[in-house]
Amino acid sequence: MRAWLEIEMDNLLFNIDKIRKKVENREIMAVVKANSYGFGAKETVRYLSEHGVKKFAVACLDEALELRELKLPVEILILGVIFLDEIDIADRNDIQITVGNWDQIEYIKKNNLKVGVHIKIDTGMGRLGFLPEEGERVVEYCLANNINIVGIYSHLSDADGFNRESDNYTETQIKKFQIFEKYKDRVKYIHILNSGGILRFNHELSGNLVRAGICMYGMIANYRVPELKRVFCVKTKILSIRTVEEDSFISYGRKYTLHKGETYATIGVGYADGIKKEFSNRSYVIIENEKCPIIGEICMDMCMVKIPDSIKDKVQIETEVIVVRDDIIEEINVEHKCSWDILTGIGRRVYRVYKENGKPYLITR
């Protein structure tokens, strides 16, 4: 294999158990949108559903239908927009939908659909949904008109801001949402907490369900969560090694000069595998436990890394290289929140290697 993403499924489960303890009596919905953050939605859902997770969230109808192919007894919620001509399909496939406008409600009422609905409230994300006061009218209308409301929810926009202003904003969002607590006897799920909320704001009165995304993978924004375990690692191999005999430019655009006597390796991943171009001359990989800086522009299918003298004699063609891992993301990206962006960007030609107790049990693409 040229490049592969290793996923430690037992650690994923460990993390979910930790989250479960943290959120106490709230239920967990695992967010597996975007192919489960790049880790493979089908295998993730299959594995988690065997281990007690029964609620999943995706972004769109296609993702929900893909999961229904597994024929598992799980609840599935579409967090994103559902178009009117998709609502019947969701209904027929027992897929819950998010409702954020009146047209959807009228359509459901007119066609007498029994589809499970979660009303989306915008408490400050500024993306989709009804503002809180209108949201109350919507809930009342749905309850009065026999629309099958399963949930009411909102989304936090800055729960991982890690500063006073962000935290105040999050608390304001949670407070605004609290007017919906009064429906808890008539509506099954009231929910607002995402990963940042779960890890940092679950002391608040904030519903009876949480939506866990990136925290399942041991992270919050770009930070590792100390009490959670490492789940993922992208690996590749060394394709070539060379010690330069004179100062030499490396890669496209001559942006990096390697000096006489220095050693470098070409490795088997590039930006088409999801190794972002912004990492050029900025990130590093790990070989034989040493950090090796990425030098020069990252190419589509390969990139070059500097080999420190300390490991020069240990590396050879086909030596394994760690390219993306939680500690690398944490170290290089603290100023942008891009762990989601990196993980969901890992390319299609990177194999997914699912492991349990350190041993691979399934390899897919």
- Of 175, 252, 277, 312, the active-site residue reads 252
Q: Please choose, from the candidates 198, 227, 201, the residue with its C-alpha nearest in 3D space to the C-alpha of residue 211.
A: 198
Three-state secondary structure readout of 76-114: EEECCCCCHHHHHHHHHCCCEEEECCHHHHHHHHHCCCC
Judged by CB under 6 A, the chain residues 139 through 178 that form the site for ligand PLP are 155
- Answer positive or negative: Cα dihedral of 240, 245, 250, 256: positive
Question: Given the rule CB under 6 A, which of 207-215, 235-243, 271-279, 314-322 is the region that contacts ligand PLP?
Answer: 207-215
**Is the separation of the CB atoms in 285 and 292 below 8 Å?**
yes
- Which residue carries 């989601």 as its tokens? 340
Q: Was 302 annotated as part of a binding site?
A: no
Question: Given the rule CB under 6 A, which of 108-116, 162-170, 188-196, 255-263 is the region that contacts ligand PLP?
Answer: 188-196
Residues sharing a CB contact under 8 Å with residue 163, sequence separation 6 or more, in sequence order: none
User: Considering beta carbons, is residue 132 or 213 the nearer one to ligand PLP?
Assistant: 213
- Token pair, residue 107, equals 């359509």
Among 61, 64, 79, 322, binds ligand PLP (CB under 6 A): 79
Say whether residue 214 binds ligand PLP (CB under 6 A): yes
Instruction: Supply the DSSP string of 326-360, one letter for each residue.
Output: HHHHHHH-TTS--HHHHHHT--TTSEEEEEETTEE
312 a catalytic residue: no
| Beta-sheet pairing, 284-287 with 290-295 | antiparallel
33 a catalytic residue: yes
Say whether residue 26 binds ligand PLP (CB under 6 A): no
Q: How far is the CB of 146 from ligand PLP (least distance, A)?
A: 26
Among 16, 31, 90, 324, binds ligand PLP (CB under 6 A): 31
Question: Given the rule CB under 6 A, which of 99-107, 194-202, 269-277, 347-355 is the region that contacts ligand PLP?
Answer: 194-202
**Is the separation of the CB atoms in 281 and 294 below 8 Å?**
yes
**Is the separation of the CB atoms in 117 and 148 below 8 Å?**
yes
User: Alpha helix (H) ranges present in 9-83?
Assistant: 9-23, 33-37, 41-50, 61-68
Q: Was 300 annotated as part of a binding site?
A: yes
Q: How far is the CB of 159 from ligand PLP (least distance, A)?
A: 8
Say whether residue 194 binds ligand PLP (CB under 6 A): yes
Among 96, 173, 195, 333, binds ligand PLP (CB under 6 A): 195
User: Considering beta carbons, is residue 279 or 340 the nearer one to ligand PLP?
Assistant: 340
Active site residues: 33, 252
Applying CB under 6 A, the residues found at the interface with ligand PLP are: 31, 33, 79, 155, 194-196, 211-215
Annotated binding site for substrate: 127, 300
